[in-house]
Structure 1
Amino acid sequence: MLPFLLLLLPASLLAAPVERVISLSPHTTELAYAAGLGDKLVAASDYSDYPEAAKSLERVANYRGIKLERIIALKPDLILAWQGGNPPREMTKLEQLGLKIFYSNPKALEDIPQTLEALGQYADAPDQARQAAAVFREKLHQLDARYRQQRPVRYFYQLSASPMITVADNNWPSQVFNHCGGENIFASSKAAYPQVSEEQVVVRQPEVIFGTPHAGTQTGLWQKWDGKLPAVNDQHIYNLEADWLNRPTPRTIKAVEQVCHFLDRVRQDKP
């Protein structure tokens, strides 16, 4: 509850501009640039590849953990971390050393502009973050107005192929599909990212199947179900841009637009 309350307080009561920032995940790196902190970044995580300038930053984190000693040696006055994604034990050590940590873990599309504004308080020019947040909200509002009355479309999102993993509702990036009128066939799963079988997908009869290039969606995996699966019968199997979809950043709006476009194709085929 506290992080949400902090977002509601005036920036002047919360923080002053910083000079040395370290980002420990690709999405917080991208958010930092969008919020006007790009020139303050001294290090980032592996796969922090957007914008182009991020590729030249020193790497101090990856999926295996963080380089604790190197982070300390760089003397950051702000660390951007992925709550739930970075190792809690190491993060606790950094906190105990008195280092300031900003945790990011957006749960809804509306959290993205709020996070931008919260990060903007640390920038020399907070207006950049406020403007980026306003643009995101306006585009999201336009998409909501366009698609809120459209009929729901049953979809399956294939996060990976072996094992086959999907996502339940209220877990990222299900919010992207929901905003366009997508109806998740595994919405009620007790697991956040359940492992499923092809047969379970077929039983639920999705009208469209989504994946990303690394998920194996377009490898012909589903073709053997031709005649038994609406998404295959009507050739509604689509790859989405992974970084737009999986990183909660301003570019997420591109993922929403992409998903909405493909769901419209399904509706046009079967009004």
Structure 2
Amino acid sequence: MRFTCLLLLSFTACTALAAPAQRVISLSPHMTELAYAAGLGDKMVAASEYSDYPAEALELERVANHRGIKLERILALQPDLILAWKSGNPPREMAKLEQLGFNIFYSTSKELPDIANTIERLGQYANSPKQAQQVASDYRQQLAKLTAQYQNKTKVRYFYQISAAPMITVADGHWPTQVFQVCGGENIFAASKAPYPQVSQEQVVIRQPEIIFGTSHANTNVAMWQAWQGKIPAVDNQHVFTVTSDWLNRPTPRTIKAIKQVCDHLDAVRAQRQAQD
């Protein structure tokens, strides 16, 4: 009898997880974007600060930011599904939500294929999984095409500047180095022990990047590197570029746009190489 009850409880839990959600809250911008991609847009009732894509997300109430989560407001909204970022949302507050019995879906996108997998998993909570399946399929096809196009390209040494003061970059194996790898980028801080190391301009000079990438948040521009004219190939050849932050830093279908943008810049370096040979 006890075994039968356990089986019934297990079946009930699985069924609940597969049932369409009616009230969804997202606690990170990229999860908001993934929710809309998976067909959950009409179920969203609140989201985190900076959830700005698609445009409809701008109308959602804000219940989280970099300082924390509004637990009381989340309790009042009574979501049946909360979308969270495992390494980005505060563990203590997430533990409280778990203890209160909320159904929490954690983003675990660490590699490029994970984006499509996550969308498909989210699709089980939509009224129909068809949109999620189509978006995931389109993403996989575009990723496969770009991977094949660039897999034999010559390597280009790059530096990705996440912020300016302090100057932060990223080691291999941590997002978004996967984007650069598709294009044949070779990270000058690949072997750093810290996932997001703080570095100096002098350390960048020593490693001689052929191209420097930054975002508007990092205030990366040619002017800030101008003092190193004649000492860094990227500066000498005017290969200092600003990339679209949301495309690059958020693991969503728009990552494809980031790959194309980065690949185009790396191709410009390769073209200049050939012209100089």
Which bin holds the TM-score, normalised by the shorter protein? over 0.9
Match of 2:21 in 1: 18
Match of 2:230 in 1: 227
What is the distance in 2 between the residues matched to 1:244 and 1:194? Answer: 22
- TM-score, structure 1 length as denominator? 0.94
Maintained 8 Å contact 1:12/1:121:
no
Query: In structure 2, the residue corresponding to 1:220 is in which secondary structure?
Result: helix
What is the distance in 2 between the residues matched to 1:45 and 1:219? Answer: 33
CA, structure 1 residues 269+13, in 2 after alignment: closer, same or farther (shift >3 Å)? farther
Match of 1:5 in 2: none
Q: Unaligned 5+ residue runs, structure 1?
A: 1-10
Maintained 8 Å contact 2:222/2:238:
no
Q: 1:93 aligns with which of 93, 96, 116?
A: 96
Match of 1:142 in 2: 145
Match of 1:40 in 2: 43
- CA deviation map 1:220-244 (0-9, x unaligned): 1111111111001111000000000
Q: Unaligned 5+ residue runs, structure 2?
A: 1-13
Match of 1:127 in 2: 130
> Match for 1:121: what amino acid?
Q
- Aligned CA-pair RMSD: 1.2
Q: 2:246 aligns with which of 237, 240, 243?
A: 243
Is residue 71 from structure 1 mapped to residue 71 from structure 2 by the alignment?
Answer: no
Match of 2:84 in 1: 81
Maintained 8 Å contact 1:217/1:239:
yes
> Match for 2:50: what amino acid?
Y
Match of 1:218 in 2: 221
Is residue 180 from structure 1 mapped to residue 183 from structure 2 by the alignment?
Answer: yes
Maintained 8 Å contact 2:38/2:135:
yes
Maintained 8 Å contact 2:47/2:63:
yes
Query: In structure 2, the residue corresponding to 1:248 is in which secondary structure?
Result: coil
What is the distance in 2 between the residues matched to 1:233 and 1:105? Answer: 39
What is the distance in 1 between the residues matched to 2:16 and 2:232? Answer: 56
- CA deviation map 1:48-78 (0-9, x unaligned): 0100100000010000000001101111000
What is the distance in 2 between the residues matched to 1:40 and 1:13? Answer: 16
Q: 1:56 aligns with which of 59, 69, 78?
A: 59
Is residue 202 from structure 1 mapped to residue 200 from structure 2 by the alignment?
Answer: no
Maintained 8 Å contact 2:222/2:235:
no
Superposed structure 1 runs of 4+ greater than 4 Å apart: 11-14
- CA deviation map 1:206-261 (0-9, x unaligned): 00000001212116111111111100111100000000011111101100000000
Q: 1:105: how far off?
A: 2.9
> Match for 1:201: what amino acid?
V
CA, structure 1 residues 40+13, in 2 after alignment: closer, same or farther (shift >3 Å)? closer
Maintained 8 Å contact 2:162/2:168:
yes
Match of 1:257 in 2: 260
Higher CA-based Rg: 2
Q: How many residue pairs end up in the alignment?
A: 261
> Match for 1:263: what amino acid?
L
Which of the two has greater helix per residue? 2
